[in-house]
Structure 1
C-alpha cells in the first residue's frame, strides 16, 4: 500500500495570456489503504487532477508523489497508479478480446499460460465468468465493460487506483452492483483509491475521506462524516442542498441564495474567494463582507475547520483534526 500526494499541483493549458489553469495549487493526500472521494460540479478540475496523477495531463507546477517518488519518474508501462475511466464504451479497444485487453496491462515477463490463468482470476475478482475472456467488448453491457476496465487496471498490480465517475454512464439498476464490487475489491486488496464523483450519496457509501473542489481548488477536506454532518464551506452546503432527498432539509436554504447562477469563467477567475460571486454568505448578500472579493481565503484555510477556504468558516480547535493528514 502507498500514499498518493498532490503537492501544490497546477495544470495549465495554453499560453499565459489566453490559457486556462484547470487545477490551481492543489495540495491533497490520499492516505495509504484509504478511499478519498473528490466531489465538485462539472468543470471544477476533478478529472484533470486525476489525469495529472497518471501522466495524461501536464503538471505545470508542483508535484504528484507516490510515497516520496515523483510519478513523472516512474516508468510509463505498468505504472503503479492505474485509472478506470468514466465511459466504459470507449475505454476498451473494440477489436481486442476481453482477455487480450486485460493481459496487455500485465507486467512484462509473464508467460502466456500464466497470463491466461491470471486473466481468468481477475475476471472472477470482478464477478465475471472466465469464459468471457474470448469475447469482444461489443458483446458486453456497460456494467460488464466497467468490470473489465477494473480488471484491466488491477492486472498491472497497482498500488493506487483512480476511479473517475465510473458509475455515471451506467444505468441506475447496475450502479449499485458496480459500487459494491469496487468497495469489496478495495477492501480485500487494501488499495489506495481516489474516487471521483458528483454524487454525494455514492461518495458517502464508498469513501473514508471527502475533498470538495471548486474552480480548480480544494475548498474543504475531512472525513466523510465530518464534512457531510458539519460542512464549513458555503459551496459544500450548496452541494448538499442540491443533493437528492436524503440530504434535503438538513440545512436551511438561505432566502437570498445566489448559487443558482453560473460558475465563474475559469479563463478569468474572480479575485479573492472564487465562489464569492455565487455565495449566499458573500458580499452579494452581505455587503459588509468585502474581504471575500479582495482576499484569497486559501491563505487562512489551515486555521479553519476542515481547512475550509472560507473567511467565515469556523476556526479549528486546538489539536489535530482528522483532516490534517490529507493536507
Structure 2
C-alpha cells in the first residue's frame, strides 16, 4: 500500500465571476495502511475531493499523488478505487453480480475458471455466498449491493480505497454490519482508505486520523483520539455536539452556545475565516475579534493543526469523549436509539 497525498488541491467549476470553488487549497495525507476519516456537512467539498482523486472532477490547482506519482498519469491501471454512496445506482442493472465484479479484475484473471474462482473469493471476502454471482442487482438488498460494490472495488487490487458515505443510504439496521465488514477488511488486507462521512460517530469507529472540511477548506486534522478528546476548531466542536449516541452527544459539556446562522453561500464565501459568521467564539460573540473577518487563518498542511486564529481557546470538555475511540462496537443502531 502507498500513501495518497493531496497537495494544495483546488477544484473549480464555471468562470471566475459565476463559478464555484468546491475545494480550495486542500492539503491532506492518507498514510499507507491507515484510515483517514474526512468529515463535514453537506456541500463542504468532501465528495468533490474524492472524485478528483479518481479523475471524475477536474483538478484546477495543485496535485494528487500516490507514492509520488500524479494520479492523472494513470491510464490503464487504476490503483485508487471508490465505493459510492448510493448502492442502488452504482451497479449496472443488466449485468449479473459476477459480471460486475469480473469487469474490474486484472486482465490475467478475466477468463474461465480463474475468473470464477476469484469472483467467489471476493464474494466470500464480503460475507456473501458464491451463488450470488448469478443474481442481478434487483434481487439484492441495499446492504448486499454495498457489499458487492466493496468486492468490485477490491477486485481491481487497489492501493487505496475511497469510501464515500457508504452507509448513509442504508437502513439503520444494516449500517453496523457494513461498518463491521469494512473494519474487518481493513485489518485483514491492511487497507489504505479515505473514509468520507458527515457522522463523527462512524468516523470514530473506523479511522486512525480525522480531517474536517468546511466550505471547501480543510479546517482541522489530527489523530482521531486527539481530535475527539480536544477539538481545536469550533466547527469540529459543533460536529461533535451534533453527533447522536446512545449516551447523548459525543461531547458531555457544551461550554459555548452555537450561533444560529445558516451556512454561507459557497458561491460567495465570507472573507477571512469562512466560519466566522457562525462561530461561537468569533466576532459575532466577541466584537473585538475582527481579525477573523479581515484575515484568513493559516490552514493545516501537516498531520496536526487547526485553521483558527483562536484555536484551543475554548477549554476541552470535562469528561472528554463519552465513547472510547477504540470501541469494538459500531455506532448506535435504531434499537440503541430507542433504548
Q: TM-score, normalised by structure 2?
A: 0.89
Report the Cα offset of residue 249 of structure 1: 4.8
Report the Cα offset of residue 306 of structure 1: 3.5
**Counterparts of 1:164 and 1:297 in 2: how far apart (Å)?**
28
Q: Deviations over 1:200-231 (max 9, x none)?
A: 11100000000000000110000100000000
Segments of 5+ residues of structure 1 without an aligned counterpart are 316-327
Q: Deviations over 1:226-245 (max 9, x none)?
A: 00000000000111111114
For residue 122 of structure 1, what is the aligned residue in structure 2? 122
Pick the aligned partner of 1:311 from 297, 309, 312. Answer: 309
For residue 102 of structure 2, what is the aligned residue in structure 1? 103
**Counterparts of 1:102 and 1:313 in 2: how far apart (Å)?**
46
Aligned pairs, number? 310
**Counterparts of 1:121 and 1:248 in 2: how far apart (Å)?**
39
**Counterparts of 2:132 and 2:255 in 1: how far apart (Å)?**
50
For residue 190 of structure 1, what is the aligned residue in structure 2? 190
Alignment of 1:56-205 (within 5 A): 56-75=56-75, 77-110=76-109, 111-205=111-205
**Counterparts of 2:255 and 2:310 in 1: how far apart (Å)?**
17
Alignment of 1:282-293 (within 5 A): 282-293=282-293
**Contact persistence 1:7–1:62 (CA under 8 A):** yes
Report the Cα offset of residue 248 of structure 1: 4.9
For residue 13 of structure 2, what is the aligned residue in structure 1? 13
Segments of 5+ residues of structure 2 without an aligned counterpart are 314-339
For residue 298 of structure 1, what is the aligned residue in structure 2? 298
- Residues 93, 78 of structure 1: alpha-carbon distance in 2 compared, 3 angstrom cutoff: farther
**Contact persistence 1:227–1:306 (CA under 8 A):** no
Q: Deviations over 1:62-82 (max 9, x none)?
A: 00000100000012x440000
**Structure 1 ranges of 4+ moved more than 2 A:** 109-112, 245-251
Q: Deviations over 1:60-109 (max 9, x none)?
A: 0000000100000012x440000000000000000000000000001123
Report the Cα offset of residue 254 of structure 1: 2.1
**Contact persistence 1:232–1:306 (CA under 8 A):** no
For residue 324 of structure 1, what is the aligned residue in structure 2? none
For residue 253 of structure 2, what is the aligned residue in structure 1? 251
For residue 232 of structure 1, what is the aligned residue in structure 2? 232
Deviates more, 1:64-73 or 1:260-269: 260-269
Partner of 1:298, secondary structure, is coil
**Counterparts of 2:77 and 2:129 in 1: how far apart (Å)?**
25
**Counterparts of 1:121 and 1:288 in 2: how far apart (Å)?**
62
Report the Cα offset of residue 154 of structure 1: 0.4
For residue 318 of structure 2, what is the aligned residue in structure 1? none
**Contact persistence 2:28–2:301 (CA under 8 A):** no
RMSD: 1.5
